[in-house]
Structure 1
Amino acid sequence: MSTKLSTQNTKKMVTKESIQNAYIDYVLTEGEQPKSVYIFAKKNEMEETEFYQFFGSFDAIEQSLWTDITTKTIAEIKTQEVWGQYNSREKALSFFYSFFELLKSKRSFATYSAKKIHKGFSTPTVWQGAKSEFETFASEILKDGIESGELTDRKFFADKYKDALWVQFVFVLNFWLNDISAGFEKTDEAIEKGVNVTFDLFQRSPIDNLLEYGKFLAKNGGMKEKMGF
């Protein structure tokens, strides 16, 4: 009695993560993006339509990778038992340390992606999603800091605090990409010093006292005539 073996379709399921991983493998192996979605899809045994169900371009894949690391960092640090006890400065430090710890597993990709970015004042497309998530997070912790009195609510300037934190984030990211110290210990030092200096600027300073004194004198300028000056 003969038996007939049946064959089954062993085609892998295409997911957002499988496309991301395949893309990372391709660019790190070839040193550049695929020439077309068709070539990339064929190499990874998927249909073009399956690719477009998740991404509209290769840059969109890179943007999603940066964004996912950012959102994952925020989600993880908020589950820490001590999170509710942190002030805004400590929450910012927790984000920075945790982000770069997660990014270690994708350092080769991060280096490849960042090197393609043209230097300028505008936010690169691949970082726009990460920036949006970061600014939402930063606004949240900064608001808490202002309400608790930890940070100074300066008119016209307080709304720009999150921008200063983003600048600090980009600086540390570029520092990390060029850091060759063991365990990236120099980056940890840059985070500590950079975030602390930034938050020092957010807090009350002698300049604030001077400005308030100036406002007081301007408002009560008539007092000097009454005092005979």
Structure 2
Amino acid sequence: MATTESIQAAYIDYVLTEGHEPKSVYLFAKNNDMTEEEFYRFFGSFEAVEQNVWAEFARKTVTEVKSQDIWAQYSSREKALSFFYSFFELLKSSRSFAIYSYRKHARGLAAPRVLDNLKTIFESFADEILRDGLETGELTDRKFFSSRYKDALWIQFGFVLKFWVGDNSAAFEKTDEAIEKGVNVTFDLFQRSPIDNLLDYGKFLAKNGGFKEKMGF
């Protein structure tokens, strides 16, 4: 009997062996002892199969990092780093498929559509850890911008994924470096900066008589 897992496994084996997706659902189903109806019971297309594989990478990563005993003690920054490191560690075991799928669907600067389901999971996770950071004061709550923090984190994820696909370093150590530097820079932007202090000072002066009065002009 066909299952989500068996279809995904058969599909991955086919594309890595043949270098392209099956010519039709009919032929794929026939070669794997199932009917078209069974295939469509789980997936609407081959692209949907790939989308689910990517989504599973994200689901497994979220489950894994949240199961860590120290998870509740992590800052938002540490939770993001833990997700990134764990995700790309998990991806190593499926590197051939990940590269095949990513490159097949690549479309310039925009994230490939095959990552749509993964993005939904990632953004839900990012919303959670960023909200925690805002509540604890680790991150700065900026009007109009705080709600966009997850977008910046997604852009950073897309950058690291693209970097990893082209990384030829031993044990992908360059990717680990890219994660460390990229995530830290992103979170530095989320935290309070001299610009925030300057803006707050300007608001204070505006509410309390303005610049001219305070400076004696």
Q: TM-score range, shorter-chain basis? A: over 0.9
Check if 1:183 corresponds to 2:171.
yes
Q: Which amino acid aligns with 2:32?
A: N
Counterparts of 2:117 and 2:215, CA distance in 1: 60
Structure 1: runs of 5 or more not aligned? 1-12
Counterparts of 1:42 and 1:212, CA distance in 2: 67
Maintained 8 Å contact 2:102/2:112 = no
72-81 or 213-222, larger mean C-alpha shift: 213-222
Check if 1:37 corresponds to 2:22.
no
Q: Give the structure 2 partner of residue 153 of structure 1.
A: 141
User: Of the candidates 93, 98, 102, which is equivalent to residue 114 of structure 1?
Assistant: 102
Structural RMSD (CA): 1.4
Maintained 8 Å contact 2:21/2:46 = yes
Check if 1:77 corresponds to 2:50.
no
The structure whose residues are more often helix, as a share, is 2
Q: Give the structure 1 partner of residue 91 of structure 2.
A: 103
Counterparts of 1:226 and 1:109, CA distance in 2: 65
Counterparts of 2:214 and 2:97, CA distance in 1: 71
Structure 2: runs of 5 or more not aligned? none
Q: Which amino acid aligns with 1:82?
A: I
- When residues 115 and 228 of structure 1 are mapped into structure 2, their CA distance, relative to the original with a 3 A threshold, is closer
The number of aligned residues is 217
Q: Deviations over 1:87-106 (max 9, x none)?
A: 10000000000000111111
Greater radius of gyration (CA): 1
**TM-score, normalised via structure 1 length:** 0.91
Q: Give the structure 1 partner of residue 208 of structure 2.
A: 220
User: Of the candidates 164, 184, 192, which is equivalent to residue 204 of structure 1?
Assistant: 192
**TM-score, normalised via structure 2 length:** 0.96
- When residues 101 and 216 of structure 1 are mapped into structure 2, their CA distance, relative to the original with a 3 A threshold, is same
